[in-house]
Structure 1
Amino acid sequence: MEQGQENPFSGAVSIFHGRWMPEAAIPVGYAVLIDAFDLPVPVPITLSAIGPRHKVYQAGGWNIYTPRHQPDNDLAGHLTFALRYEGLDLAVLKALFRQTGPEPITNMVRAAPTGAYARRLWFLYEWLLDTRLDLPDAAQGTYALVVDPDRQFAVVGTSSTRHRVKNNLPGTPAFCPMIFRTPALEAFVARGLGDEARQLIAEVPADLLARTAAFLLLKDSRSSFQIEGEDPPQDRIQRWGQVIGEAGRRSIDRAELERLQRIVIGDARFVHLGLRAEGGFIGEHDRLTGAPIPDHVSARHEDLPALIDGLTSFDRGAAQRLDPVLAAAALAFGFVYIHPFEDGNGRLHRYLIHHVLAERGFNPPGLVFPVSSVILDRIDAYRTVLESYSRRLLPLVRWQSTDRGNVTVLNDTSDFYRYFDATPHAEFLFECVARTIDVDLPTETAFLRIYDAFKIEVQQMIDMPDRLLDLLFRFLRQNEGRLSKRARDKEFSALSDAEAARVETIYAAIQEAAG
């Protein structure tokens, strides 16, 4: 659409790109730009349209605005609307700038040299395309924020005197996912979950806390393997648990990621270590032909070094200035979409969550939130979050199968992994972290308190080795405080009826006292 060209969707419609509208309305902003320029980008989660009523509302993936919000029917009008009401979609903007070339943006700036939206677009054009427009430096105009911090999460800005804007983008051109402010995220950030966790453990005795931390660490390591459908030997689970316990001590870069991959793989006889040297995908193979059936196509192997450099810059830059959980979501899910290795990506993806939280001091010292175990419990929700982007991305990746049942990507896809909407991922991760604080941590400390009290009481009555005490306690927990006939006849046949009754009474009293 050239400036001034008639908008092909100037009339109200009920369906747009296969997406039903809540009522007949006129698409605007990113919706029109994507369609008019046939931009090969993932369609945003939420689009905008002008409805017939004087009511602003959201429904079915649409923000419906009133007739008074109708923008001018040209490129400048829809770009301005997008920046004002829809926030930044960097993938759309970069693809659009490549299509339009510099002239329309240059004309917008010359027509409104002090206009905040024009200067923001000017900055974004040069930032995204790494090129300089034929414009003199801005001489006037109040410094404008590139990201509207009331709509999307941003960092403290640095001044660009050329454009008279504050660059508060949460990343670099090499990697910059965006996260929208939602009521759920606002509430989580306001809670201060890290402070809550520290207050919670302040009342836990040191020895009890150490045992709690050890259990949760092992639980997280085991769960991370189980998510991948693996059941490795205990020593391998423990080794990976030790690595998780050291998360946050080293910065993330290619060498560190490759070191971690070597640890997580263990036996690498049949796995290529290091960055992939060919394509990659997640999905199945056709049973008859062996052809790939992808659910997600990974980044091209040619793009991996630059994408990993982008992750590295994000970890050392924007991740230090964003809320830790938001930063962890952007880094970890960005990594898993890139999928840089032949194997080990899922466990490293979850390691990166621990890395950011630990590096930022979000966890209490010595304690790892068992995020993987929560993810395992919520595996369907986890997959839904992963698919929230993969499903929109997959139709845009052109690929062909190889003789080895792999894929070769035929188009440039690198920006798809740099600029995704990480809002669903941030909400999911916050939910997981909150559950570890609200449920897992207090549940485990309460369990150990009860177990210790039970052990002391029983040992005063009967001399029993720890192994049998553990089994006795487990049997009582599994059978609502009663010893089953099987347990009385086999493992604990040596107990008299009076002793067995006393053990059950001790257990019931301790449970009641614990509330």
Structure 2
Amino acid sequence: MVTHKAHRHRFPGPVKIFHELVLPETATPAGYAALIDAYGLRAPLPLTLAATGERHIVRTESGWHIFTPRHAPEPNLEAHLTFALKHEGLDLAVLKHLFVAVGAAEIEAIVRAKPTGRYSRRIWFLYEWLLGSRLDLPDATNGPYEPVVDPKLQWAISGEASHRHRVKNNLPGTPGFCPLVFRTKALDNFAAMNLASRAQEVVADVPKDILARTAAFLLLKDSRSSFAIEGESPSHDRIRRWGRAIGESGRRPLELEELLRLQAIVIGEERFVRLGLRKEGGFVGEHDRDARTPIPDHISAKPQDLQSLVNGMVAFDRGAALSLDAVIAAAVLAFGFVYAHPFMDGNGRIHRYLIHHVLAQRGFNPAGVVFPVSASILARIAEYRAALESYSVRLLPMIEWQPTKDGNVQVLNETADFYRYFDATPHAEFLYNCVRQTIEEDLPRETEFLKRYDQFRTSIETILEMPTRTIDQLFRFLHQNAGHLSKRARGKEFRLLKEDEVAAVEAAYFASFTAATIERPRQKQTGRKK
């Protein structure tokens, strides 16, 4: 056991309530929970906390992972740090705040006591990596190379060896931006589906003209849905311009200038929004009706931190995102961007563009086809908000702020690390669900719809000589009325049709369409404010 001044810190004993969170049973906080409490760390609490109970059974319930008494660590820094790395994975925000709080001498003492220890060498590496400061320790000479990220607990990259620490740096990012994702049964199952191959199989036998029309429709659908999520009803031209930008995703390298170009496209009107990185605070929420003071649900990164955060995202996009699971990488980058909220406006749409950017860059979707991720998000809007709030509700209490005279917020403490390091597991699971829906439902349904529509149009052309636009109008009337031409349409737009022609038209519709394929026209009715 290492003896150092950590003994002067009081580690928590058995409790039923910890930081306003109720435990499923009386238990003793361990690992990150104990370290946060003992050192008074101001960092967002992990999504799942650890504690040791009195029963000899391991269970997870209500946001707590309860271990047995034999797992209980000694009440000191080294023991709880080791417990955290072994059982809870990495929480980089907590670790950085802890390292700042304990200082170099504490960590040096741990490493000197166990210079070949697998956990002491990981702790040593993480200290120097997170703080950018070299400890007064000679390079390690013994011990097998240990992965910094336990790949059984969290998603990692192949990484490179750090010879000084004799560890393998497989962190999926840089000190400038490195959210982490836990391995869950849901994510492992999604990864095993090989959805990219499934998407290729869906389009393999689709005629090129139908695939091109499918791609055009899905692109427009995604653009329209992305505005609808923000409660906007823009002009058709603005929707198409943003759709073109989405269609080019993955072709240009990600950098600040590219993000600024996208912001200009998505905003359109520049007179009332200052383009570029924010020069002032930002938040998502409401204002008090009387005092007009902010009531934030989420507070954005400080303006002075935005350049370094964007640089970290760019480095992630050009580095870890190229070898990490594509959907997980897309979730990490996109949600990291929207939490930082670097612009005054347009953040949400660019956030969703970044999903397209990563997937296209990795060749995840078939060539020329844009997955309507925004449409899937719009259909799952409650789940989307829950994913966003999975971190925002834990982040908000850590931010010290005061209202400004113009109804904005001014952040008073250092918060950059909260946007560099967070648990993106809920976001990755959510996005994978959206991608799965697109590949297994939206894409096949749209291609099938167009095949059947072409069949319907061909049938109509054998019955009547009719312009394409009129056939489209006839189809809409039939589709909206379960395959029957309404009395109104028969008395007005199609009053010239004879009874036998009406019967033939309706028969052509029923021959082409089934109940499973009548959803598409209603999906066009998006873009309404909510």
List per-residue Cα deviations over 1:380-405 (Å, max 9, x = no partner).
11111111111111111111111111
Aligned-partner Cα distance in 1 for 2:455–2:427: 41
Shift of 1:73: 1.6
Aligned-partner Cα distance in 2 for 1:75–1:508: 72
Counterpart residue number, 1:426: 428
Counterpart residue number, 1:332: 334
Q: What code does the residue aligned with 1:267 have?
A: E
Q: 1:176-191 residue pairs with structure 2 within 5 A?
A: 176-191=178-193
List per-residue Cα deviations over 1:198-246 (Å, max 9, x = no partner).
1110010000000000000000001111111111111111111111000
Q: What code does the residue aligned with 1:107 have?
A: A
User: What is the aligned counterpart of 2:203 among 201, 204, 209?
Assistant: 201
User: What is the aligned counterpart of 1:119 among 118, 121, 141?
Assistant: 121
Counterpart residue number, 1:463: 465
Q: What code does the residue aligned with 2:72 have?
A: Q
Aligned-partner Cα distance in 2 for 1:3–1:256: 47
Counterpart residue number, 2:169: 167
Shift of 1:147: 0.3
Counterpart residue number, 2:521: none
SS in 1 for 2:17: strand
Equivalent residues of 2:11, 2:35 under 8 A apart: no
Counterpart residue number, 1:236: 238
Aligned-partner Cα distance in 2 for 1:401–1:6: 35
Q: What code does the residue aligned with 1:424 have?
A: P
User: What is the aligned counterpart of 1:39 among 35, 38, 41?
Assistant: 41
Q: Is 1:248 the equivalent of 2:218?
A: no
Aligned-partner Cα distance in 2 for 1:396–1:55: 33
Q: What code does the residue aligned with 1:3 have?
A: A
Counterpart residue number, 2:56: 54
Counterpart residue number, 2:447: 445
Shift of 1:4: 3.3
Q: What code does the residue aligned with 1:130 have?
A: G
Q: What is the number of equivalent residue pairs in this alignment?
A: 514
List per-residue Cα deviations over 1:146-193 (Å, max 9, x = no partner).
000000000012011100000000000000000000000000111111
Shift of 1:289: 2.0
Aligned-partner Cα distance in 1 for 2:498–2:55: 80
Distance 1:326 1:513, change over 3 A: closer
Gaps in structure 1 of 5+ consecutive residues: none
Counterpart residue number, 1:109: 111
SS in 1 for 2:6: coil
Aligned-partner Cα distance in 2 for 1:333–1:172: 17
Aligned-partner Cα distance in 1 for 2:237–2:243: 10
Q: Is 1:3 the equivalent of 2:6?
A: yes
Counterpart residue number, 2:526: none
SS in 2 for 1:251: coil
User: What is the aligned counterpart of 2:65 among 49, 57, 63?
Assistant: 63
Aligned-partner Cα distance in 1 for 2:277–2:96: 27
Q: 1:368-379 residue pairs with structure 2 within 5 A?
A: 368-379=370-381
Higher mean alpha-carbon deviation, 504-513 vs 117-126, is at 504-513
Counterpart residue number, 2:261: 259
Distance 1:452 1:348, change over 3 A: same
Q: Is 1:85 the equivalent of 2:108?
A: no
List per-residue Cα deviations over 1:263-291 (Å, max 9, x = no partner).
11111011111001111111111222221
Q: Give TM-score, length-normalised by structure 2.
A: 0.95
Q: Give TM-score, length-normalised by structure 1.
A: 0.98
Q: What code does the residue aligned with 2:185 have?
A: P
Distance 1:219 1:172, change over 3 A: same
Distance 1:115 1:514, change over 3 A: closer
Q: What code does the residue aligned with 1:462 have?
A: L
Shift of 1:513: 11
Aligned-partner Cα distance in 1 for 2:217–2:245: 15
Distance 1:299 1:506, change over 3 A: same
Gaps in structure 2 of 5+ consecutive residues: 518-530
Q: Is 1:270 the equivalent of 2:272?
A: yes
SS in 2 for 1:3: helix
Shift of 1:6: 6.8
Shift of 1:502: 1.2
Q: What code does the residue aligned with 2:238 have?
A: R
Equivalent residues of 2:463, 2:504 under 8 A apart: no
Counterpart residue number, 2:522: none
SS in 1 for 2:392: helix
Q: 1:386-425 residue pairs with structure 2 within 5 A?
A: 386-425=388-427
List per-residue Cα deviations over 1:254-311 (Å, max 9, x = no partner).
1111111111111101111100111111111122222111111110001111111101
Aligned-partner Cα distance in 2 for 1:8–1:114: 27
Q: What code does the residue aligned with 1:293 have?
A: I
Q: Is 1:292 the equivalent of 2:297?
A: no
Shift of 1:3: 2.9
Aligned-partner Cα distance in 2 for 1:84–1:511: 57
Shift of 1:514: 8.5
Higher mean alpha-carbon deviation, 142-151 vs 462-471, is at 462-471
Q: Percent identity?
A: 62
List per-residue Cα deviations over 1:435-491 (Å, max 9, x = no partner).
001111011111111110000001111111122211211222222111121121121
Counterpart residue number, 2:160: 158
